[in-house]
Amino acid sequence: MGNPIDQFASVWYAIKKYYGFDKDEIKGIVITVIILAFIVSFDEWGVTTFDFLYGLRNFFNSMLIILLSFLIYLSAQRITAIKSGFKAEWRVWIYGLIIGLILVFVSRGKLWFLAPGGVIVYHMAGHRICSFRYGLNYWPLGMSAIMGPIACALLAIFFKILLTIFPANVLLDKAMRINVWIAITNMIPIPPLDGSNMFFASRMVYIFIFGFVLGTLVPILLNINVLYSLLIGLVVGFVLWQLLFWTLER
């Protein structure tokens, strides 16, 4: 093993070199932020009657929350990939945005589908020399992809903790709910969503992470204490892992 300081310097150099977003990614992120902000603010354009200024303020607040959450989401994926010697790029999924728009209209703003795209991982040959399983395979792709939903799940928990300190803060509550739905919907195991990459990498790891995230975030939405929610998440993840092992994987 090399010097930890040298390893950190090498990773930091790679992050500075490869972290940036290309034009297609920036375009996709802008479109995604606008559409997702419209979805989560769909029923917030007035209390009893339509109010343009009231709705515009809620739309703007939603854009800021989604932009922050999405940048953390993508950063978690990119840094994980770079650390393993890969480059991650995010691509918008137009059909996912259309599904989200249809569902929010049909449900009148009550149902959010916030799954706008997925990650693509490229092999950086020079950074993988002497690495185990030198080429690109499902495992680094799955681990890089799943870090996005996990990052948003942690953000949701963070906002929930802040809500215990500032219980009447509407923006914190909205930020928590947005991150809950981003984490859950993007873990659905259908391509090109990030959950599908982890599913193909390891069904056992996927089912535990999915169960843990789902079992933790749903109680948080139901206003259950964070510690109890985490315990419920661990139980749900373990139970689903056991069910998959004894029915299909044994």
Q: Among 151, 181, 28, 131, which Cα is nearest to 80's?
A: 151
**Which tens digits make up the pLDDT trace of 99-122?**
999 999 999 888 999 999 998 888
Average confidence score pLDDT of the chain? 88
Q: According to the 3-state scheme, what is the secondary structure of the chain? A: CCCHHHHHHHHHHHHHHHCCCCHHHHHHHHHHHHHHHHHHCCCCCCCCCCCHHHHHHHHHHHHHHHHHHHHHHHHHHHHHHHHCCEEEEEEECHHHHHHHHHHHHHCCCCCCCCCCEEEEEEECHHHCCCCCCCCCCHHHHHHHHHHHHHHHHHHHHHHHHHHHHCCCCHHHHHHHHHHHHHHHHCCCCCCCCHHHHHHHHCHHHHHHHHHHHHHHHHHHHCCCCHHHHHHHHHHHHHHHHHHHHHHHHC
pLDDT of residue 7: 61
The CA-CA-CA angle for residues 207, 211, 212, to 5°, reads: 120
| pTM of this structure | 0.88
Q: What mean pLDDT is predicted for residues 42-66?
A: 87
Rounded to the nearest 10°, the torsion over CA 223, 225, 230, 235 is: -80
Q: Is the peptide bond before 116 cis (omega within 30 degrees of 0)?
A: no
pLDDT of residue 78: 92
pLDDT of residue 130: 46
**Which tens digits make up the pLDDT trace of 117-156?**
998 888 775 554 445 555 567 888 899 999 999 999 999 9
- Indicate if the alpha-carbon torsion angle 138, 183, 39, 110 is positive or negative: positive
